[in-house]
Chains A and B, each alone.
Chain A
């Protein structure tokens, strides 16, 4: 690859933040080099490219680094304008996608992590929080998709979809391994149908990490 247009992603196999960037690159058909970082022994390049946070993912394009997964996703969408468009054209729908991506990131993931890491009463409390947040999300998605739930295919994946599937794609395995219920298709049918459709896309299946390995890492 020529230096110009060269794309490198510094990532970590278990990081949902890293995975969502990988998904975006693959979905848009952008060729890239992948550098797997050992988070206990970060590369000099990573520390140079993300001196503020020293974290993955970092995307390097034309020698210039971009950090923070949601910022990277917006950058990818602005630079490679082919489908899928991660953000729609209409400003109001764009704002809704950003709102839900932010909600998923800030509100929901914290609670899910707690569920995956803890047990007993702490886990129960966290599960309750997850359930409450999912109900809120379901309500919100109902109005967001009030024109009908668009079908999921590789041409139509949004920013919020990438956040959702990178956090939750492995939910079924988490449920099996931990003997818990994370997602109820009857209580949150929209989320359930959207998530399962996303997780079933071959490109997503081959990109997301094996959920049992993620659980093993966390516990």
Chain B
């Protein structure tokens, strides 16, 4: 019996994609279970009782939830093709930027989608400020991980997929080629890596999804 690895995901969850990318980059075989979040499976609720969300990784019957926790678990368990540097200070730097992505970049972009008027403007501004810092961090590097994809690239990779979708949905510019040349180049490079490219959810479905999310949110206001 080989190691049993299962991934609980949805077709579009950007958080679940992180787990898929890490496993695919390390060449780990796994079974995929697609969840319908309006009708969550008993297994999902059993494996992630706290948050009841995807992604969940199941390894040898033990579940792990929270995408960033899962990434660290994958890195701890399968030590080939490392996603973090060896040096403790560089590792700390990588974890810093992963946290930055989660605490600053993602909420600003999310709120740009979910809010309107002044609140949306502020969220958009905050997003642009956060991109400036990412642009700085990319100086002298092709990828956040250096020459190869690392955990920071994986954690921020949702940008490469969703920024253009949200720009279309919101008719709002996030990452202008001229203002953020390095970040734009990173998004293109990242998106073109075969393991990443093959994983992108269908763009038209994503556009439909995010239009619906925004409309539903605005309707409740």
Can you list, as one digit per residue, whether each of A55-83 has a CB less than 8 Å from chain B (1) or not (0)?
Answer: 00000011010111011101100110000
- Are A98 and B50 in contact, CB atoms less than 8 angstroms apart? no
- B 78-128 contacts with A by CB, 8 A: 88-89, 91-93, 95-96, 99-100
CA distance A138 to B68 in the complex (A): 22
28 contacts between A and B (CB under 8 A): A52-B96, A52-B100, A61-B89, A64-B89, A66-B96, A68-B99, A70-B99, A71-B95, A74-B92, A75-B88, A75-B89, A75-B92, A78-B91, A91-B76, A92-B59, A92-B62, A92-B73, A94-B73, A95-B72, A96-B64, A98-B66, A99-B64, A99-B65, A99-B69, A102-B68, A103-B50, A136-B50, A139-B49
We find that the number of chain A residues with CB closer than 8 angstroms to chain B is 26
B212 interface residue per 8 A CB criterion: no
Could you tell me which residues of chain A, from 116 to 140, have a CB within 8 Å of some CB in chain B? 136, 139-140
**Complex contacts, B69 vs chain A, CB 8 Å:** 95, 98-99, 102
Minimum C-beta distance from A93 to chain B (A): 10
Q: For residue B65, which residues in chain A have a CB less than 8 angstroms away from its CB? A: 99
The smallest beta-carbon distance between B69 and chain A, in angstroms, is 5
Q: With A92-B62, A92-B64 as given contacts, are A72 and B92 in contact (CB-CB < 8 Å)?
A: yes
Give B98's nearest chain A residue, CB to CB.
A71
Smallest distance from the beta carbon of A138 to chain B beta carbons, Å?
A: 11
Q: Could you say which residues of chain A place their CB within 8 Å of the CB of B99?
A: 68, 70-71
Closest A residue by C-beta to B79: A91
Q: How far is the CA of A136 from the CA of B51 in the complex (A)?
A: 10
Task: Please indicate the chain B residues that have their CB under 8 angstroms from the CB of A79 in the complex.
Answer: 88
A139 to B46, CA, bound (A): 13
Q: Mark A35-70, 1 if CB is under 8 A from B, else 0.
A: 000000000000000001000000001101011101
Report the minimal beta-carbon distance from B24 to chain A, rounded to whole angstroms.
19
Could you say which residues of chain A place their CB within 8 Å of the CB of B76? 91, 94-95
Contact B96 A67 (CB under 8 A): yes
Establish whether residues B73 and A95, one from each chain, have CB atoms under 8 Å apart when the complex forms: yes
- Complexed CA–CA distance, A99 and B47 (Å): 13
Residue B70 CB within 8 A of the other chain: yes
A74 CA / B93 CA spacing, docked (Å): 11
Interface pairs A-B: 10 shortest CB-CB? A91-B76, A95-B73, A75-B92, A71-B95, A66-B92, A78-B88, A91-B77, A95-B64, A98-B69, A99-B69
Write out, one digit per residue, whether chain A residues 93-113 have a CB within 8 A of any chain B CB (1) or not (0): 011101100110000000000
Asked if B50 and A74 make an inter-chain contact with CB atoms under 8 angstroms apart, the answer reads: no
Least CB separation from B90: chain A residue: A64
B170 to chain A: which residues have CB within 8 Å? none
Contact flags (1/0) for A157-187 with B, using CB distance below 8 Å? 0000000000000000000000000000000
**B28 lies within 8 A of chain A by Cβ:** no
Across-interface contacts of A92 in B (CB, < 8 A): 59, 62, 64, 73
Say how far A121's CB is from chain B's closest CB, in angstroms.
Answer: 23
